[in-house]
């Protein structure tokens, strides 16, 4: 049924994860208004977890470092004279979609390309559908917006996601795009390297059951199945790969 094992979630998710009409309406309205004309869409999903605390300032630095090292976004022109005539294809800029609870992070990324031109002359547009600051588990509208943003994020051509984030897992699996993971912070500072490319399209199963063999000893499932590996971003989890 699934010749490529790492695409299992992609196919099942697209077949089974159907948004309600109201959620899909949010997706389509936002996409047509802001993203449809972009020649390339870059998605940046950022979340701060209690097990890997980091300040917004450090998280911003990590995102910028990742986009520059991996050549995802063009470098800034910090020179005194900026030639606006260099701009290429101004009618179809590259769009950056920021999905995050934090409005300040979006402001920093947007201002970066507002205050400076790029060395390539490209126009970079930055968007964020919402920033509720905190996850609101029992709020219907909040959850509807989250699902809408998962689908919007999955329309991206290039993805940067937070390690351990189920939001990111679902989005890149639906997109069938291997993302760059923002690695967990070290002592609340930007890790080195700042990000790493995923090895498969499969989302990480954070808490897999132990495999107990006949000797009653627990065995690592990865050692028993050639199509399993530990997750790049969450060492205790497992994921499918080909």
Place 106 in a pLDDT band, splitting at 50, 70 and 90. Answer: very high
Identify the helix (H) or strand (E) that includes residue 118: strand 117-118
Q: What is the pLDDT of residue 51?
A: 85
Whether the predicted pLDDT of 213 surpasses 70: no
Q: What percentage of the chain has pLDDT greater than the value 70?
A: 90
φ and ψ at residue 109, rounded to 5 degrees: -70, -45
237 close to 206: Cβ distance less than 8 angstroms: yes
Cα separation, 33 vs 194, whole angstroms: 32
What pLDDT does 215 receive?
57
**8 Å CB contact between 54 and 62:** yes
Report pLDDT for 214.
60
CA-CA distance, 65 to 75, in Å (whole number)?
10
Closest CA to 23 of 209, 151, 165: 151
Both tokens assigned to 135: 């996850």
**Cα→Cα distances 63→115, 118, 142, 157, 181, Å:** 18, 17, 25, 17, 10
CATH for 5-199 is 3.40.50.11350
How high is the pLDDT of residue 194?
Answer: 96
3-state secondary structure of 106: helix
CA distance 95 to 82: 21
List pLDDT tens digits, range 136-177: 778 888 899 999 999 999 999 999 999 999 999 999 999 999
- Average pLDDT in the chain: 89
* Encoded tokens for 173: 């699996």
What DSSP designation does 205 have? B
Model pTM greater than 0.85? yes
Q: How confident is the model over 170-189, as pLDDT tens digits?
A: 999 999 999 999 999 988 99
């Amino acid at each position: 049924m699934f010749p490529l094992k790492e695409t299992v979630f992609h196919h099942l998710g697209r077949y089974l994860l159907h948004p309600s009409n109201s959620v899909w309406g949010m997706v389509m309205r936002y996409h047509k208004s802001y993203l449809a004309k972009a020649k390339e869409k870059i998605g940046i999903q950022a979340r701060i977890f209690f097990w890997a605390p980091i300040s917004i300032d450090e998280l911003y630095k990590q995102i910028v470092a990742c986009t520059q090292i991996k050549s995802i976004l063009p470098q800034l022109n910090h020179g005194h004279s900026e030639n606006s005539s260099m701009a290429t294809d101004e009618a179809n800029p590259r769009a950056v979609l920021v999905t995050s609870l934090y409005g300040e992070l979006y402001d920093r990324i947007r201002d970066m390309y507002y205050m400076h031109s790029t060395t390539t002359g490209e126009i970079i547009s930055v968007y964020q559908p919402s920033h509720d600051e905190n996850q609101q588990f029992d709020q219907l509208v909040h959850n509807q917006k989250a699902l809408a943003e998962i689908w919007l994020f999955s329309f991206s051509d290039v993805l940067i996601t937070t390690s351990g984030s189920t939001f990111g897992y679902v989005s890149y699996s639906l997109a069938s795009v291997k993302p760059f993971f923002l690695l967990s912070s070290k002592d609340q500072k930007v890790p080195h390297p700042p990000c790493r490319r995923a090895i498969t399209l499969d989302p990480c199963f954070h808490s897999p059951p132990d495999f107990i063999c006949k000797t009653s000893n627990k065995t690592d499932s990865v050692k028993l199945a050639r199509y399993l590996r530990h997750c790049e971003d969450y060492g205790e989890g497992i994921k499918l790969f080909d």
